[in-house]
């Protein structure tokens, strides 16, 4: 049995104020694999108090950036040595295929941690400016106590997007992992203690929506960083707005991949394995609207159908598996509901559909819909599963209009033999990122969305700035 019977608060494992537990069930076997305490509002109060004490009176925000980087360097080294253990754990708790887990669920989180550890040495924490009335020192200081609310699909990556820059900035943190995936944070808490991160700097309380709402509204929290659905993000934004509390929201997406006339179709379709279907399609930036020129529509449909139909669906711990189970029965039923909806809307199932690949486990057949129009719900709403919508377009202008005709603006991609032209098209897409002949997230560059895909940016120097306040100190000439 994986997990712990206590919570990590104030640098120690302590009993929960409640008696509830969170059972973690394997999405592959549907068997119980772990258990942790279910956090309560009283546990949140205790965790915020510990973070508040560590920020207001502890050493962490008073250390220099180089000192904090030294501590995070130890943590990063531990993480680097034990990436496989983290990858295996995330695969077990949420079904991420092993090939994706080692990179997306462990290696990239460690890279983000190391990126911010290294950035501390070159970031301009202070600068001198010549003001209109005399010299001014501009100081960047930590924002305070941070509430980090983490989703289940990439739990370590999403945690590290918040924790790494916040800690380098000098903030303290209360992290609330999703009840679907609390086990990885238990393992990570042990690494925090081993790296001698000071008591109270990081506190972890797993729990559901009520616990998360209490954390967001807590008066002891200075900043909220949330990754999750747009609906939940709106509610969090309203609370933070009323309290004038700093907030970063990384929300949903319905990203479009534009295949231009000159694209190498074999390479493009191969690229969709990662860009569109990684992590079983449970990625906010997944390229799930495939825009094909009408002149090549049948060719694209055949190639996409053949690729998706060839994917191995099964045990996520096997390195031969491309598509594993979805995280929960609820998610399985939700995705299957969208497959039914697509058929009712008049779209054609080219491959996949409602025939479950396995009798046991929360599996959904990877599915491609053809004859999709951009006004269909399967083209407008985030499905969060291995379901792709193939949409024809007339010309390049039409493709850009379709790509931008969305309430979301998180990501996108352009696939072409002419990279320079692909960059020109990417500039016209109203999204926070848009790849050319690939889609990926780089730790050194900002990630976030336009429109209903969120507020603010994570990663890169911009991700660090989200955890800093600017103070001006003028003086006589």
Tell me the catalytic residues.
250, 284
Q: Could you tell me the two tokens for 205?
A: 């309380």
Structure-token pair, residue 397: 């202008």
Residues 6+ away with beta carbon under 8 Å from 231: none
Strand 255-259 to 287-293 pairing: parallel
* Structure-derived torsion over alpha carbons of residues 172, 178, 182, 187, reported in degrees to the nearest 10: -40
According to DSSP H, which parts of 82-221 are helical?
A: 83-94, 98-100, 108-119, 155-169, 183-194, 209-217
| Residues pairing with 34 in the sheet | 2, 24
**How far is residue 391 CA from its own chain's centroid?**
26
Of residues 410, 400, 415, the one with CA closest to residue 446: 410
Distance separating alpha carbons of residues 368 and 374, to the nearest angstrom: 15
Nearest to 440 by CA among 281, 289, 274, 256: 274
Assess contact for 63 and 197: CB atoms under 8 A.
no
Dihedral pair phi/psi, residue 117, rounded to 5°: -60, -45
Q: Tell me 428's DSSP state.
A: T
The CA-atom distances, in angstroms, between 147 and each of 220, 344, 378 are 10, 41, 33
Closest CA to 92 of 333, 284, 278, 327: 327
CA distance 254 to 278: 15
SS3 435: strand
Residue whose entry in the numeric block shows the structure tokens 């400016």? 129
Give yes or no for a contact between 391 and 379, defined as CB atoms under 8 angstroms apart.
yes
């Amino acid at each position: 049995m994986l997990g712990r019977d206590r919570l990590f608060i104030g640098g120690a494992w302590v009993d929960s104020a409640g008696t509830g537990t969170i059972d973690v069930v394997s999405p592959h076997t549907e068997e119980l694999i772990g258990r942790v305490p279910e956090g309560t509002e009283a546990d949140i109060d205790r965790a915020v108090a510990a973070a508040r004490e560590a920020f207001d009176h502890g050493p962490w925000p008073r250390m220099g950036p180089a000192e904090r980087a030294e501590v995070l360097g130890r943590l990063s080294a531990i993480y680097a040595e034990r990436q496989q253990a983290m990858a295996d754990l995330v695969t077990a708790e949420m079904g991420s295929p092993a090939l994706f887990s080692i990179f997306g669920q462990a290696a990239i989180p460690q890279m983000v941690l190391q990126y911010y550890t290294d950035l501390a040495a070159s970031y301009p924490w202070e600068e001198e400016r010549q003001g209109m009335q005399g010299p001014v020192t501009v100081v960047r200081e930590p924002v305070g106590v941070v509430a980090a609310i983490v989703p289940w699909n990439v739990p370590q990556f999403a945690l590290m997007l918040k924790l790494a820059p916040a800690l380098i900035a000098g903030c303290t943190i209360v992290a609330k992992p999703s009840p679907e995936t609390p086990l990885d944070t238990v393992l990570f808490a042990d690494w925090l203690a081993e790296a001698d991160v000071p008591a109270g700097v990081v506190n972890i309380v797993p729990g559901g929506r009520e616990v998360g709402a209490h954390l967001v509204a807590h008066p002891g929290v200075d900043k909220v960083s949330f990754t999750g659905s747009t609906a939940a993000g709106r509610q969090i934004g309203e609370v933070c707005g009323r309290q004038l509390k700093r907030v970063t929201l990384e929300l949903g997406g319905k990203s479009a991949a534009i295949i231009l006339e000159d694209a190498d179709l074999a390479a493009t379709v191969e690229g969709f394995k990662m860009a569109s279907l990684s992590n079983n399609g449970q990625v906010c930036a997944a390229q799930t609207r495939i825009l094909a020129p009408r002149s090549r529509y049948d060719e694209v449909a055949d190639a996409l159908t053949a690729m998706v139909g060839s994917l191995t669906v099964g045990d996520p711990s096997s390195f031969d598996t491309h598509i594993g189970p979805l995280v929960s029965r609820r998610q399985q039923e939700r995705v299957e509901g969208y497959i039914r909806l697509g058929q009712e809307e008049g779209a054609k199932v080219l491959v996949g559909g409602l025939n479950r690949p396995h009798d046991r486990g929360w599996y959904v057949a990877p599915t491609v819909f053809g004859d999709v129009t951009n006004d269909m719900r399967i083209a407008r709403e985030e499905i969060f599963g291995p379901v792709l919508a193939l949409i024809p377009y007339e010309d390049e202008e039409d493709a850009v209009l379709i790509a931008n005709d969305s309430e979301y603006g998180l990501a996108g991609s352009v696939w072409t033999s002419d990279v320079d032209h692909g960059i020109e098209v990417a500039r016209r897409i109203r999204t926070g990122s848009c790849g050319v002949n690939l889609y990926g997230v780089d730790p050194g560059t900002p990630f976030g969305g336009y429109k209903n895909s969120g507020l603010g940016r994570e990663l890169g120097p911009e991700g660090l700035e989200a955890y800093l306040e600017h103070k001006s100190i003028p003086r006589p000439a």
